[in-house]
Amino acid sequence: MRRCSRREFLARSACSAAALGAAGTIAGCPAAPEPPFTPVHGSARVCAVRGQDLADMTRDALDGVGGIRAFVQPGETVFIKANCMTAGFMSGDVVARGECSKPEIVMAVAEACLEAGAAKVTIGDAAQVDRFSWEALTSLDGATNYAAEAARLNAAYGDKVDLACLAADSPSWTEIPSPYTSLGTIKVSSLVTEADKVISIPVAKTHMMCKVTYSLKNCLGMTPPLGMSLGPVKSRLGMHAAAGGIEQCFLDVVKAVRPHLAIIDYSICVEGNGPVNVGMGFSRRVDLRDRLGDWVILASSDLAAADATASRVIGVDPLGVKYLRMAYEQGLGQISEGLIEVVGERLDSLYVEWEHASLAKSIPASVKSYAPYSCAAWAEGGEA
């Protein structure tokens, strides 16, 4: 498959957004049953670590949430959901451009799992192509890559690490319930659903459809990528048009999989209308060191709390992010700042300027009812 250039991606993104918008205008607000209103009342903890060495920062972040042994027990299998969304699809160094998870972070988590006695660690993503090169996903210093690091860990721990392009490498796909969308069910890789523990490691980015994308939305990459035909859902694009919305689709994946840990990468990221860095005033690369002096890693066992904290770092109110409100109101995690304890670094020491997604819609924070499924309430949000 020929790789897509930045200019081609920008054109395709604009066409896709226009098409989805036109479909919504013609069809009106699609009907979807409302999920039970079960908001979270408990507190959560997020560990924030600043520094210059991503591997060391990752280990410190794990220690800050109780250590990896609080999550992974001897003999368990672990699936690590890396963010490889443009690997093999976009040209150039997609890691250094801020689009994909850094090997330094992902492999530090994998090694920690092995040290805790994990029987198998699978690192994977269903990106935009059936198969991509793990060798091409290099560390920021260019010294290593996913394949080389997996080989190193396999030599040290006895062939316990697998790298999986989910579209090509999934033994099967498990249907999980999606009762609050028009889909009914969603397919998720069996490599995820059969793992004992699941860890989500996204790159922090603003997003042209969902406003922001962190650990919850990262779980969308556990589903069939574009081009795959697996029953009624032919691709993720169909999820965007489903009643209930793309947000409900990936939150249903989260409900089924129940990830145990989030590690959010605030090093080289994307601002503007991400998640792809296409430049040309649409979206661009951000090196957090240029704005804060350091990179940052956030870790939490509560994915919603991690994502809400990541949003606050760049001045985005979680209450104005549709999927974060939905996650909170459906009992998937805490987003209230007063109920999230941030340890390590103070939250107010991490605030940075960030270009928000101009194409993304927001919801009014004043709406207290279950607004995401109300056409009128959604329309009030207007353009962000």
DSSP string, 7-45: HHHHHHHHHHHHHHHHHHHHH-S---PPPP-----S-EE
Q: What domain range includes position 238?
A: 40-380
Using a 10 angstrom Cβ sphere, with 0-12 exposed, 13-18 middle and 19 or more buried, the burial of residue 128 is: buried
At 228 the pLDDT is 53
Residue-level pLDDT at 364:
61
Residue 316 lies in a domain: yes
According to the model, what pLDDT value does residue 5 have? 52
- Within a domain: 29: no
pLDDT of residue 237: 66
pLDDT at residue number 33: 87
Structural domain tally of the chain? 1
| SS3 of residue 294 by DSSP | coil
Question: What residues of the chain score a pLDDT lower than 70?
Answer: 1-30, 226-235, 237, 362-384
Residue with tokens 């989030």: 262
Q: What is the pLDDT of residue 365?
A: 52
Does 14 map to a domain?
no
Confidence at residue 242, expressed as pLDDT on a 0 to 100 scale: 87
Residue 19 is assigned to a structural domain of this protein: no
268 domain-assigned: yes
CA dist 71 and 89 (Å) reads: 33
Answer yes or no: is 30 within a domain.
Answer: no
Residue 45 CA: distances (Å) to CA of 64, 239, 295, 337, 370: 9, 31, 20, 11, 25
Q: Tokens for 83, please give them.
A: 């963010």
CB atoms within 10 A of CB 159: 11
Position 30 scores a pLDDT of 55
Q: Which residues of 290-304 are buried (b: 16+ CB within 10 A; e: fewer)?
A: eebebbbbbbbbbbb
User: Which of the 8 DSSP states describes residue 183?
Assistant: S
What was the pLDDT predicted at 128?
Answer: 86
pTM over 0.85: yes
- Whether residue 303 is contained in a domain is answered as yes
Residue 136 counted as domain residue: yes
User: Phi/psi class of residue 219: alpha, beta or left (left: φ > 0; alpha: ψ in -120 to 50)?
Assistant: alpha
